[in-house]
Amino acid sequence: MKLKGLIFFIVLIFAVLGAKFLFPQFFDAQVNKARGMYLVYKGDKALENHKWQKSIELYKQGLSLYPEHYSAWHNLGSIYVLYEDYDAALEAYSNAIKYNPKFIVARMNYGIVAAEKLGDFDSAIVMYDEIIKTKRKMMNIPWVFDNKKSTKANKGYAFYNKGIAYKQKSLYTDKDDYILRKRYLMEALEAYKSAVKILKKNYEARYNLALTYHLLGNTREAGFGYCKAIALSPMSYEAHYNLAILLKHLNHYQEAYEELQKAAELITNSDGFSNRQSYIFDILSEVSRTVYETQNENLLVDSISASKKDLDSMRITYLNGKMVYTDELDKAIMKNFSTCKSFKIFKSELDEDEQDPVFRKKVNLPE
């Protein structure tokens, strides 16, 4: 057995030497690949331990030997983003895409950095379009692997980010060039509409679709959109606030007042929004004065008092000096914030989403 083992080892040595002699370039490439993958492995370990500079050095060394390692390029780009070296990040992401054109995450990150950090909206849109049209082989191994949902979600987020890029383009366009600004907003609108078909429960996609309708002057669809966003995320103040501004513009002051109250309460419980909080309270004060002037003040006060009484009747407990909501109160608060009473103002013909019984229940529509 020992003799056979020795013979096998000698044959292996001669085979390696023969390969190096007969195919020197191939042999060197395989050795470099092995060394490069080992250095990338060490770079991954440094990255896990948050040793950013060390991981950059190891990735660079590994990629100099094995430049086809696309995931290393992607990780290198993400580290450059942490250091706010956005040009280097885009170069790294480009190399990741070069060696793996179907690397969706690298394309997505390239687009986000290009648009959000460097204002290169056109390059970002190109990346998002590539993600949208990329066809990947669907695989489903029960309890092991399923890329169908992730592939579909990535396409949805590509549409969403494309909408953001076009909306930003419209904001940076010369304010006097109305036609071009509207064209970019229409592109954003179409992208958001495609996004919400895929990301049905995504608040940001719904909210931005409604906001784009609002910017384009389509008050009906904007109103519907804000109500749908509120149904998805009742405790997010933006949709409540923008819906209130829309209602104020349409002279529905009572409904605007109620939505502003919700927005003001939500933003008061958030940190770092002092300027926005002050602005919301200014608008709330203005609308409340209009409500008092145009409606019966006693009816409004009675309505607010009744709502307050309903909430006060719920039990509140205190734990270690802090107020803790009971389930009953929590449900009442959530129902209040998720109810979009102004939905009826924008109602004409119900679209597919509005016929959904789950959505109708969320916004308290009649059966």
Percent of the chain with pLDDT over 90: 44
What are the pLDDT digits (tens) for 257-294?
888 888 877 776 655 455 555 554 555 555 555 544 44
- Supply the pLDDT for residue 93: 97
Instruction: From residue 199, give the alpha-carbon distance in Å to each of 90, 96, 153.
Output: 27, 27, 7
- DSSP lists the bridge partners of residue 323 as 318
- How much is the average pLDDT of 21-31? 57
The answer to whether 285 touches 258, Cβ cutoff 8 Å, is no
Given a cut of 60, whether residue 199 has pLDDT beyond it is yes
Is the dihedral angle over the CA atoms 315, 318, 322, 325 positive or is it negative?
A: negative
Q: Is the pLDDT of residue 153 over 80?
A: yes
Q: What is the pTM of this model?
A: 0.75
Residues 298-329 have pLDDT tens digits of 444 444 444 444 444 444 444 444 444 455 54
Give the model's confidence band at 29: pLDDT under 50 very low, under 70 low, under 90 confident, else very high: low
Task: Determine the pLDDT at residue 147.
Answer: 57
Helix (H) or strand (E) holding 279: helix 274-294
Residue 75 class from Cβ within 10 Å (0-12 exposed, 13-18 middle, 19+ buried)? buried
**Average pLDDT rounded to a whole number, residues 215-224:** 91
Q: What is the pLDDT of residue 341?
A: 76
Model pLDDT, residue 221: 93
Residues 6+ apart with CB under 8 A from 29: none
> Is it the case that residue 99 has pLDDT exceeding 90?
yes
- Comparing CA positions, the residue from 165, 227, 224, 171 lying closest to residue 190 is 165
Average pLDDT, the chain: 77
Q: What is the rounded average pLDDT of the residues 77-97?
A: 96
Q: The tokens of 315 are what?
A: 């039990």
User: Does the pLDDT of residue 164 top 90, yes or no?
Assistant: yes
Tell me the C-alpha distance between 203 and 362, whole Å. Answer: 14
CB 184 within 8 A of CB 168: no
Residue 297 has pLDDT above 50, yes or no: no
The answer, yes or no, to whether residue 16 has pLDDT greater than 70, is no
Average pLDDT over residues 66-79: 94
Specify the pLDDT at position 311: 40
What tokens appear for 270 in the block? 């958030």
Q: Under DSSP, is residue 348 helix (H, G, I), strand (E, B) or coil?
A: coil
pLDDT of residue 306: 44
The tokens describing 198, both together, are: 């895929």
From CA 159, how far away is CA 129, in angstroms rounded? 8
- How many whole angstroms separate alpha carbon 47 and alpha carbon 39? 12
pLDDT of residue 13: 55
Compute the average pLDDT of residues 150-156: 87
CB 260, CB 290: distance < 8 Å: no
The per-residue pLDDT for 178 is 87
Complete domains list, the chain, with CATH: 32-138+145-227+235-313 (1.25.40.10)
Tell me what percent of the residues of the chain surpass a pLDDT of 70.
64
- Per-residue pLDDT tens digits for 221-252: 999 999 999 999 888 888 988 898 888 888 88
